[in-house]
Structure 1
Amino acid sequence: MLRFAPSPTGDLHIGNLRAAILNYIIAKQTNDEFLIRIEDTDNTRNINGKDKEILSILNLFGLLWDKLVYQSDNFKQHNIIANELIKKGKAFYCYCTKEFLALKKAEAIKNGKAFRYDDSWALQCKDTNPNPVIRLKGANCDISFFDEIKGECKFSKNEIDSFVIIREDGIPTYNFACSIDDMIYDISYIIRGEDHTSNTPKQILIRDSLGYLKEIKYAHLPIILNKDGKKMSKRDNESSVSWLLSQGFLPQAIINYLLSMGNKPKQEIFNLKDALTWFDIKTLSKSPVKFDINQLRHINREHLKALNLKDMTNLLESSDLSIGALAKIYLEEASTLNELRDKIALIFSKKDITSNDMKLIYDTLIKLIDEDSESLEDFNSLKAKLIELTKLNGKALFHPLRYLLTGANNGPLLNDIYIYLRFYLKEILRSE
């Protein structure tokens, strides 16, 4: 089984979405199950409703899961297993207060040494601290594992001292809950961000301490950088999947882009179903990848172009195919749904009459509409009629006419879009 394990502590990050996509693809390629595990161990940071939002986004992207679990449902079992580790001599109660540990850390820094927990401190503060934590005994040998992207990863035993697995309030720590749940749900392959690499030896040590023998494969994805070449953070709008969707980027375009990052796909434009046939995690670059919003815009435009007229119309929340057809033409200069909506909104916006020529063209158009003139049937006929009635031509005619019909001073050829505009002339020619 493969799993995606988001925390309901904030917006879904594109790096996490990338991991979810890869877990889903490999689960499908190997005919395995895909598990969503909501990691809600941090009660102080969990945001009410954020889990439902994350699940809704995964559903929107077509990342349909076979099983959904919440980590908090297993807290009782986590504590039972922790107590079993104590009985086996693999874990112990530690009564050290935060203040005591802070003092020891300050001493280490003062002496120029790396801070490491000393097991002999376990009973310190026992008389004053009624709520001990449970620590797993540190590693007694080096721990290594093979990463499908990074290659061999090795951690010295000196890097893994005794660490907390159950907090003073009985809540399991991230590493302990994660490791135990991977065992409970028989996870065979863990794909996650590179920032979790240092957690892996601790999770391996937990399983080793329990005598768990099943081998688990790992792949840690390189970090995503922002436009400045720094690690993308929550402060970067582009890092939020919700923000990208709100800007009018299509889910299939975001998937296309994220699978292309640090990779060489067989084709530039593809969907999730296509990727199932060729994706190979071993071909991903080991280096960090920079998020390029302009490249995403290009890919998004190509996916919008590929939409049929009905789907385009529905995405623009219209029932009139003419609106979808207009949007298709405006893709010459727009690359997101929001930009298309803005272009179309301008067409139906109130028009400010700013010159005598514009007033003359406007009045003439209103007269032709009132008369239900045959000249309104196509653009060439309308153009000829306006030249005849207003005595205007060239820029004096076409610049004001473009603004009156589209609300903009430039854009697609009027001859191309008038075939759709003619159905809405009364709504378009509003000056009030």
Structure 2
Amino acid sequence: MLRFAPSPISDMSINNLRVAIFNYILSKQLNEQLLIRIEDIDKENNIEGKDKEILEILSLFSIDYSHVVYQSENLKYHQKLAMQLMSKKKAFSCFCGDDKLNELKDEAKKNGKPFKYDGFCETLSDETVLNVNAPFTVRMKKPEQNIKFVDGLKGDFDYTPLDIDSFIILKHDKTPTYDYACAVDDMLYDISTVIRDEKYTSNTPKQIYVRDTLNYSKNIDYIHLPTILDGQDDKNFVKWFIDEGFLPSAIANYLVLLGNKTPNEIFSLEEAIEWFDIKKLSKNSVTFDMDKLKFINKKHILTMDEMRLSKILGFADMDIGKLGKIFLEDSSTIKEIKLKIDLVFIPKSTCEGFEEEFVELKLCMQDAPFFDNFNQLENFITEKTGLKGENLLKPLTYILTGSNNNVNLSDIYPLIKNYLGEIVK
């Protein structure tokens, strides 16, 4: 079983979405289930409703999964196994307060060394521990040997006992820390492969150490993905891209393409399952290219069914879908297309530089019969008003499109002729 383990403390980032997509693809390739584990043990920072939003995003991207679990529901197992570790003298009670730990951190910083726990409470006798009436955390004993593992993308890693240290597994309130909860939960759900961001690489030996100490013998394969760089501020979140009019299919296409060699540049997630090889991904960090995403988004919109595009734009008319594709010539997102569509239907009161012609045209068109093509309409207007050339086309273009840009009205008119009464009112 594979797992995607988001935390409901913030919006889903593009990095997290990429992790979810790769977990989904591998689960299909390996014919294994995909579990969604909501890591909600950080109660103080959890945002209400964020878990539901995460699941909605996964649905939007057609990432299916077997079931959803919440990490906080496993608290009894976290505590039970911690007691087991303590009974075997593999973990110990630590009474060191924040002042003491900050003192050790300041001393390490002064000496230019990373902070390491000094092991003071590890040597306390059982009798002393029983007689101490103070809050305590539970720490793993520092390992005696190096912890090694092979990353499926980046190769061999080797961590010394000093790298791992005597880390906390239960906090003062007896809730689990991140590494300990992950290690236990991966055991509970029989996880076989963990795909996650490379920023968690140094967490892996701690999690392996917890499972080894609990005599869990199943090997878990790890793949740590290079981080996507240049995802600035709000543009790093999936919700921003969706709101800006990028299609989920295009975003997924780009994230699979990023740092990868693919047989085609434009593809669906279903097609990627057939040929994707996670071991061929670049081992280095990858830079997000907004222009590339826009190009891919444009390609996905172009291949979209016109009726579906129309519905996304707020209509149910194939002609509006076709109009959207015409407007795509100098646009790249649904939002940009919708703005152009909206301009067609907004009320227009005048046309700068052609104020008199605008009024005359509008009155003429309001009384005009229905015409099937633009040439017929143009001939009728010319006959009734005498307007020609720029005096006709400039204000007419503005009335029909809400824009002063040069466009081919012969292409646009057949797609909006059924709405003419609304457009020129």
TM-score normalised over the length of structure 1 = 0.93
**Percentage identity across aligned positions?**
46
Q: Does 1:421 align with 2:416?
A: yes
**Matches of 2:305 and 2:104, distance apart in 1:** 66
Distance 1:333 1:404, change over 3 A: same
Q: Match for residue 345 of structure 1?
A: 342
Q: Counterparts of 2:250 and 2:298 in 1: how far apart (Å)?
A: 8
Which moves more between the two structures, 68-77 or 306-315?
Answer: 306-315
1:112/1:356 Cα in 2 relative to 1: closer, same or farther (>3 Å)? closer
Residue deviations 1:90-113, cap 9 Å, x none? 101111001111012212222333
Q: How does 1:168-207 map to 2 (within 5 A)?
A: 168-207=172-211
Would the aligned equivalents of 2:108 and 2:115 in 1 still touch at CA under 8 Å? yes
Pick from 320, 323, 328: which aligns with 2:320? 323
Structure 2 residue aligned with 1:280: 277
Bigger shift: residues 109-118 or 421-430? 109-118
Deviation digits for residues 117-139 of structure 1 (CA, Å, limit 9, x no counterpart): 12224559977762210001112
2:169 match: secondary structure: strand
With over 3 angstroms needed to count, the CA separation of the structure-2 counterparts of 1:385 and 1:50, relative to structure 1, is same
CA contact (8 A) 1:255 1:272 kept: yes
2:203 alignment partner, SS class = helix
Displacement after TM superposition at 1:390 (Å): 2.9
Q: CA RMSD in A?
A: 1.8
Matches within 5 A, 1:85-124: 85-122=85-122
Instruction: Say which of 143, 146, 155 aligns to 1:142.
Output: 146
Contact in 2 for aligned 1:364/1:389 (Cα 8 Å): no
Measure, in 1, the Cα distance between the counterparts of 2:375 and 2:206.
74
> Is the alpha carbon distance of 1:108 and 1:356 closer, same or farther for their aligned partners in structure 2, counting shifts above 3 Å?
closer
The Cα shift of 1:358 comes to 4.6
The correspondence for 1:395, drawn from 377, 390, 393, is: 390
Equivalent position of 1:334 in the other structure:
331
Q: In structure 1, what is the Cα distance between the partners aligned to 2:352 and 2:105?
A: 75
Cα deviation, 1:285-307, whole Å, max 9, x if unaligned, reads 01111111111111111111111
Which of residues 373, 381, 386 is equivalent to 1:378?
A: 373
Describe the superposition over 1:10-64 as per-residue Cα deviations: whole angstroms up to 9, x where unpaired.
1001101100100111111111010000001111111111000001110111111
Partner of 2:156: 152
The match for 2:297 is 300
Instruction: Give the paired residue count.
Output: 421
Give the whole-Å Cα distance in 2 for the aligned partners of 1:77 and 1:277: 39
Aligned to 1:248: 245
- In the alignment, the residues of structure 2 paired with residue 53 and residue 138 of structure 1 have an alpha-carbon distance, to the nearest angstrom, of 39
User: SS state of the match for residue 353, structure 1?
Assistant: coil
Q: Helix, strand or coil for the counterpart of 1:331?
A: helix
Contact 2:360 2:385 in 1 (8 A): no
Q: Which residue of 2 aligns with 1:44?
A: 44
What is the CA–CA distance in structure 1 between the aligned matches of 2:312 and 2:114, rounded to whole Å?
A: 56
Greater Cα offset, 147-156 or 78-87: 147-156
Find runs of 4+ consecutive structure 1 residues off by over 4 angstroms. 122-129, 355-358
Aligned to 1:229: none
Query: Bigger shift: 117-126 or 9-18?
Result: 117-126
Rounded Cα–Cα distance in structure 1 between residues aligned with 2:186 and 2:54: 21
Q: Which amino acid aligns with 1:402?
A: T
Moved more, 305-314 or 389-398: 389-398
Q: 1 CA distance for matches of 2:378 and 2:414?
A: 13
Deviation at 1:69, TM superposition (A): 0.5
1:167 and 2:171 matched: yes
- Counterpart CA distance in 1 for 2:80 and 2:121 is 24
Q: TM-score, normalised by structure 2?
A: 0.95
**Structural mapping, 1:353-364, within 5 Å:** 353-354=350-351, 357-364=354-361
**Corresponding letter in the other structure for 1:31:** N
Kindly state the Cα deviation for residue 356 of structure 1 after the two structures are TM-superposed.
Answer: 7.4
In the alignment, structure 2 segments of 5+ residues that lack a partner are: none
